[in-house]
Amino acid sequence: MDQEAIEVRRVKLAAFFSSDLDQQDLISGCQLFRHYIQQQQQQVPQLKPTTSELYYVTKSDGLESSFPNIFNIIIIIIIIIIIIIIIIIIVYLTLTPTNCS
């Protein structure tokens, strides 16, 4: 993803959470976190920027207090993914008995 696309997403994210967070703090936090992850990827080339890897790196390095907004957003994304998986499982399990003739 190029720098311009990242900047557009950062601004959209800051606008979405505008009532909860200071937009400029969130944008600068995203920039710092991005540079930190890039530095980690140079040290550990097999590091992939997935949500779980970002959570693991943030948690293992004790950076929850350094990037509180980013850490909270990562946790929200993980919770949303878990909820979606639960809904998919429920739909799958309820469709099987109702398809019997």
Is the predicted pLDDT of residue 1 greater than 60, yes or no?
A: no
Distance CA(23)–CA(13), nearest Å, equals: 9
Instruction: Write out pLDDT tens, residues 34-83.
Output: 888 788 788 877 777 777 777 777 777 777 666 677 777 777 888 888 99
Domain ranges of the chain: 3-98
- Return the pLDDT at 32: 80
Instruction: List, as one string, the DSSP characters of the chain.
Output: --HHHHHHHHHHHHHHTTTTS-HHHHHHHHHHHHHHHHHHHHHSTT----HHHHHHHHHHTT-TTTSHHHHHHHHHHHHHHHHHHHHHHHHHHHHHHHT--
